[in-house]
Structure 1
Amino acid sequence: MTEHTLTVAGVAVDTRHWIGGERVASTETFTDVSPIDGSVLGEISRGTATEAAAAVAAAKAAFPAWAATPRAERARILHAVADGVEKRLEELAIVETTDNGALLRSHRRGVMPRVAHNFRFFADWLLKLEHEDFETRGHTNHVSWDPAGPSVLITPWNAPLMLATWKVAPALAAGNTVILKPAEWTPLTASLLADIAAESGLPAGVLNVVQGYGSEIGDALTSHPDVRRISFTGSVPTARRIAASAAANLTPLSLELGGKSPLLVFADADLDLAVDLAVEQYDNAGQVCLAATRFLVEESVAEEFTRRFVKKAGQLTQGDPRDEATDIGPNIHPRQLEKIDGFVQRALAAGACAVIGGHRKDAQYYAPTLLTDVAQDSEIVQEEVFGPVLTLQSFTDEDEAVRLANDTRFGLAATLATGDPERAERVTARLVAGTVWTNCFFVRDLQAPFGGSRHSGVGREGGTWSFDFYCDVKNTVTAPTGWRNHG
């Protein structure tokens, strides 16, 4: 291990920023800790306004050439990055698991392949991106997507590389240059991505990676006048701060924020399927923004649903995420564990009943929890916990189910279990959510729009929606030959 390199499960990771095609160290560092056992992984360069300015300058300098690069060449390079991800898939998986505590088996089989797919999908979508020309009084309208400029992408810790590349890939495909700021709790795979991108032929300055705290480097990035796009995934309070920071420059924002999504289970549902969907909400130790954390179950089947859920949840194995047999790993950080437990203990003090869980297991792990006897206006029902904590309420008819489902300030997703297709159509039409799943969960396609309603976000990304955000969409109107406009 050198001064600026740490080793994670045999994988060397550079702890410095990546700016303008070079590694850049900061005078100060912050400590990266594994959530698996609390062990110190290493000291990471801690960026400030100085590194932010350097990264934006590098992105600005690289932008004209990258924006002018033909679509086919940009796509070729993005496919090369995907190739690099696939070649280092095992390394990326073990580093990510060590850094954020999610299941190694999931990283190997699903998450890291999805990282490569993010690059391939947007590379291919770029090549078919078009809008059919149309006429207005004989004039031809032609729609084009012009690269917008340097883009700041601020990403969360719950799925670090997958969610980073969900932003990086379309931004690069669009012809923008990028400054990526990963979450300070999970910076390592972003550093590896910088290496892979450079090895794949991405020109210097097109992708820059800077590490540090939001209050120190994040504010400097989001307020910079040369930044033309900001995409953020994270909490509502941080989004407000970013929006205020960007306002002075009218920098366009895409915000994917928190959720308090419902799972509606009707009496005509396949209860075994509904229970499977419900138990799936403990995925990633409950640290999933889309998770349906509020179970709304029709009164006539609530008792049976609860019995089956308790039995199924009891079969889950919680432990070391590197073990193939583990179903639930640790929570990300002691601070997050304190937050989760605070929600639960306040709910219990207010009269909630813990059907299962309701307590920490140790310093890294929180017991999977289901709370009943909760009021609709209570904190535990209204606020995002971001841990393995679920609530259950009952309803008597469709109207009450929809009212309860929509009665929060969020609107990211909703899941519905019913055996009646007509009911499914009626209910989904009334739900306030960016994504609704019927008799399934977490089926995602990159060509679909993704984002939230209300306090769950601003804007949509995915497919053409991503290019609409990362580009300046332009309409060019051309008069027919020999035509003169006399007013």
Structure 2
Amino acid sequence: MSEHTLTVAGVTVDARHWIGGERVASTDTFVDVSPIDGSVLGEIARGTATEASAAVAAARAAFPGWAATPRAERARILHAVADAVEKRIEDLSIVETHDNGALLRSHRRGVMPRVAHNFRFFADWLLRLGHDDFTTYTSGSAAGRGHTNHVSWDPAGPCVLITPWNAPLMLATWKIAPALAAGNTVILKPAEWSPLTASLFADIAAEAGLPAGVLNVVQGYGGEAGGALVSHPDVRRISFTGSVPTAKTIAAAAAANLVPASFELGGKSPLLVFADADLDLAVDLAVEQYDNAGQVCLAATRILVEETIAQEFTRRFTEKASALRQGDPRDEATDIGPNIHPRQLEKIDGFVQRALAAGARAVIGGHRGEGQCYAPTLLTDVAQDSEIVQEEVFGPVLTLQTFADEDEAVRLANDTRFGLAATVATGDRERAERVTDRLVAGTVWVNCFFVRDLQAPFGGSRHSGVGREGGTWSFDFYCDLKNTVTSPKGWRDHG
């Protein structure tokens, strides 16, 4: 057993790097702490430029063989990985709950089954991805007419994937699955606050038959391991989910090597509640924004309510939100678990206390809870240009503002630097169409929230991201599209 081998509630995890199909230790380590009770889960290998270079070299060496693997065989292996994940859902759920504090029941019933689905979906989409041929009928000259164009998706090469701590394995496999399906090799750098399921998954994928070097995992800090990976000249794609400042740093590194990069970043999404909405449904949608202790990039943290129903909406919301049970995420009765890290808790509280000092009023919450929890909070009397309305808190903190009509609702909704998502609650179909057409957001939900179909494009506008993922959009990013033009002339008859 390695000194980096941990036991989390009976589940064994090797916390060394996974490079070229082998476990690799580092000279230095960092400590992984559970947000549930502050207990030390273990020592994690701390990657540097040395491990980053080794991982890129392993991915580069494995790339030709994996890229040449027939589509059907790649798809078969990815389905085998999904099978293996489904057999380990309980282990993965237990480890991730201890590591990032999200509800155990959510991991068991939704998150980890989605991990398996990510692989099945992209394996199947690979097999239906067309190689469309078309004939040129119009051209700059008559000589170009009648030529055949053949479009193909060629694997790009080693891909660096950097993932966040709020839904570690689900968001990692949302990137890993299409990258591998496309024929690329991968170097994953998970967040240092929730590193364990990435290591466990590496073993699961290898046991399922994924060839050595096709998937590599480098643990460590963003500025060390992550920085070395995104600046490596042999990397051909970079995909990052996280903060805007980090994305700017990665974009600069990617630009130096002319490497395409995809970013899914923060949000400050609105929930627009019109007077004609089903009020109980609207309240349910608003309370749902506290899911995962508010640590969801898509969360509609700005509640915008039509003036005529604001008082009744607030009353019903307060009643329902106040009944939420906060505590140990392993308990089936818990609705909201702890926040990920003491630094994140400090950040959340700083936002709230500055807002209160500036004149905001806490309808509920406004303070820390027990342990590493922050009390579900709703703030009113907030100015549109205030920090609490404009900046992402990433905790269980919502603001409530009112509007007089559609124009004001849309103006308030669009008045931030973000554009990740929006939610609209209305009983009027025509209003829904008018409003959604005017909202600046990558995803708009109407009378629902967090419904995700992997066939649909996903990503943000403005400072919420660059690029789209999902279905063919993922393959467009992880591949170099090639068009082969063939003349009808010049062929010799070999018959």
TM-score, normalization by structure 1: 0.98
Query: How far 1:135 sits from its partner (Å)?
Result: 1.3
Query: How far 1:138 sits from its partner (Å)?
Result: 1.2
**Equivalent position amino acid for 2:149 in 1:** N
Q: For residues 330-385 of structure 1, what are the alpha-carbon distances to aligned partners after superposition, in whole Å with 9 as ceiling and x for unaligned?
A: 00000000000000000000000000000001340000000000000000000000
Equivalents in 2 of 1:362, 1:112: separation in Å?
28
2:261 aligned residue (253, 257, 268): 253
Give me the identity figure in percent.
88
Q: Give the aligned partner of residue 221 of structure 2.
A: 213
SS at 1:295 equivalent: strand
With 84-93 and 126-135 compared, the bigger mean Cα shift is at 126-135
Query: How far 1:106 sits from its partner (Å)?
Result: 0.4
1:21–1:208 Cα contact (<8 Å) kept: yes
SS at 1:242 equivalent: helix
Equivalents in 2 of 1:15, 1:300: separation in Å?
55
SS at 1:473 equivalent: strand
Q: Give the aligned partner of residue 462 of structure 1.
A: 470
Equivalents in 2 of 1:169, 1:469: separation in Å?
13
Gaps of 5+ in 1: none
2:252 aligned residue (222, 228, 244): 244
Query: How far 1:476 sits from its partner (Å)?
Result: 1.2
Q: Give the aligned partner of residue 435 of structure 2.
A: 427
Equivalents in 2 of 1:214, 1:131: separation in Å?
38
Matched, 1:452 2:463: no
Query: How far 1:3 sits from its partner (Å)?
Result: 1.3
Equivalents in 1 of 2:426, 2:452: separation in Å?
20
Equivalents in 2 of 1:139, 1:276: separation in Å?
57
**Equivalent position amino acid for 1:368 in 2:** P
Equivalents in 2 of 1:230, 1:295: separation in Å?
34
SS at 2:299 equivalent: coil
Equivalents in 2 of 1:142, 1:373: separation in Å?
59
1:334–1:363 Cα contact (<8 Å) kept: no
Superposed, 1:198-209 pairs within 5 Å as: 198-209=206-217
Matched, 1:327 2:335: yes
Matched, 1:348 2:356: yes
SS at 1:310 equivalent: helix
SS at 1:387 equivalent: coil
Equivalents in 1 of 2:462, 2:255: separation in Å?
19
Equivalents in 2 of 1:406, 1:483: separation in Å?
58
**Equivalent position amino acid for 2:64 in 1:** P
Gaps of 5+ in 2: 137-144
Equivalents in 2 of 1:4, 1:38: separation in Å?
19
Equivalents in 2 of 1:15, 1:255: separation in Å?
27
2:338–2:371 Cα contact (<8 Å) kept: no
Equivalents in 2 of 1:483, 1:425: separation in Å?
55
Query: How far 1:139 sits from its partner (Å)?
Result: 1.2
Matched, 1:132 2:132: yes
Matched, 1:123 2:131: no
Q: Give the aligned partner of residue 104 of structure 1.
A: 104
Aligned residues: 484
**Equivalent position amino acid for 2:16 in 1:** R
Query: How far 1:140 sits from its partner (Å)?
Result: 1.3
Superposed, 1:366-377 pairs within 5 Å as: 366-377=374-385
Superposed, 1:35-434 pairs within 5 Å as: 35-136=35-136, 137-434=145-442
Kindly report structure 1 stretches of 4+ aligned residues shifted beyond 6 Å: none
Q: For residues 169-214 of structure 1, what are the alpha-carbon distances to aligned partners after superposition, in whole Å with 9 as ceiling and x for unaligned?
A: 0000000000000000000000011101110111110000000001
- Let me know the Cα RMSD of the aligned residues: 1.0
2:168–2:194 Cα contact (<8 Å) kept: yes
Q: For residues 272-297 of structure 1, what are the alpha-carbon distances to aligned partners after superposition, in whole Å with 9 as ceiling and x for unaligned?
A: 00000000000000000000000000
